[in-house]
Amino acid sequence: MLTSVFLFVLGLIIICYGGDKFVDNAVIVAKRLGMSEIMVGATIVSIGTTLPEVLVSTTAAFDGSAAICAGNAYGSIICNTALIAGISQFCRPSKGTDKKSFTWNVSLFFLFSLLLFLVQWKTGRISRPFGFLLLAGFVIYTIGYIRIAAAGGAGAGGETTERPLYLAILLMAVFAAALFVGARLLVDNGIVLAKAIGVPERVIAVTFIALGTSLPELVTTITSLVKGYASLGLGNILGANLLNLLLVIGIPASISGFSVERQTTFVDVPVSIAVMLILTIPFILKKRGYRLQGLALLLVYAGYCVFSFL
């Protein structure tokens, strides 16, 4: 028991410190490359925070458990958008976005969400060819951001740093790994402690495990808010959501293809699209977020959790 308590606290310390340094180096990379905060959040940062889920989905595919990947991916999108972005917009609404970067990301998200819904509705599964299409979408997504950056997307302002670009990227990789390690320590030992005090496994599943997969995004977003880089946190959420579709679903589908549960198709997919609409429409119309928008997202997440639990 004492060992679990120690490791739980250690995990918490690691993700707090790792998240702080991860955001610092992400901002350095943004400034060095002339990229906007939302752009670097949607590319480099989101890849780092989504990597654990990608590794889990790939392992599941090779173990013959690929069917769980779609539900996990949509669950992560809902958690990222309704809970994490909801907290972000409620505490400190974002003001202004890089229009090209935002539009590119959001357009691809809704395009692939609708395609996935139609395929799942008609066939009840995600085939290997469609998995390859999703991976091709990731290549297109990356090339699009490279072109936007080359065309002179709004760069991040502020003071520069003497730290070389290669070192900042290396440190980002190190602290992304620290986020993953810290999250695993926190979740694994949190489950042990919860069981020790008699918390039912079903409650553990919808709390520790569900939140654990989104801890890197949560820590990064909160740290970005505290440091005044709200757009970086927003970009991280948008990028992570799209990567959940293109990689977390695309990789296992391209390996073996898999069936999708009806609840995933007719509950999780519509909810993920709905919360993304709530998050993105104010930015499209008014180019900013609102506290009321954040509150709406949090209420949707609470309702979704209650529905899933029941």
User: pLDDT tens digits for 80-90?
Assistant: 899 989 998 99
One-letter amino acid of 143: I
Tell me the per-residue pLDDT of 141-194, one tens digit each, with 9 for 90 and over.
988 887 877 776 545 444 455 678 888 888 888 888 887 787 778 767 777 777
Half-sphere exposure of 163 (CA within 13 A, CB side): 19
Instruction: Kindly tell me if the per-residue pLDDT of 30 is higher than 90.
Output: no
Q: Tell me the CB-side half-sphere exposure of residue 4, using CA atoms within 13 A.
A: 12
Compute the distance between CA of residue 39 and CA of residue 287 in angstroms, rounded to an integer.
Answer: 15
Q: Are the C-beta atoms of residues 259 and 120 closer than 8 Å to each other?
A: no
Domain boundaries, the chain: 2-309
**Which burial class, exposed, middle or buried, applies to 166 when counting CB atoms under 10 A from its CB (0-12, 13-18, 19+)?**
exposed
Cα–Cα nearest to 283, from 152, 106, 110: 106
Can you tell me the distance from the alpha carbon of 248 to that of 296, in angstroms, rounded to the nearest whole number? 27
Tell me the average pLDDT across 18-25: 78
Q: Answer yes or no: are the C-beta atoms of 109 and 238 closer than 8 Å.
A: yes
Does domain 2-309 fall into CATH 1.10.10.10?
no
Q: Are 211 and 50 in contact (CB under 8 A)?
A: no
pTM of the model: 0.79
- Which token pair is 279? 């998050």
Q: Residue 202 — pLDDT band, cuts 50, 70, 90? A: very low
Q: What is the mean pLDDT of residues 219-232?
A: 78
Beta bridge mates, 258 = 126
Q: What pLDDT is attached to residue 122?
A: 93
CA distance to 124, 229, 274, per residue, from 157 (Å)? 47, 11, 33
- The pLDDT score that the predictor gives to residue 65 is 64
* Alpha carbon distance 77, 82 (integer Å): 8
State how far the alpha carbon of 122 is from the alpha carbons of 245, 249, 254, in Å. Answer: 18, 17, 19
Burial class of 139 by CB neighbour count within 10 A (0 to 12, 13 to 18, 19+): exposed
Question: What's residue 205's pLDDT?
Answer: 45
185/63 Cα distance (integer angstroms) = 23
**233-258 residue pLDDT tens:** 888 899 889 999 999 899 989 988 88
Tokens encoding 147: 């072109």
Question: H or E segment at 259?
Answer: strand 258-259
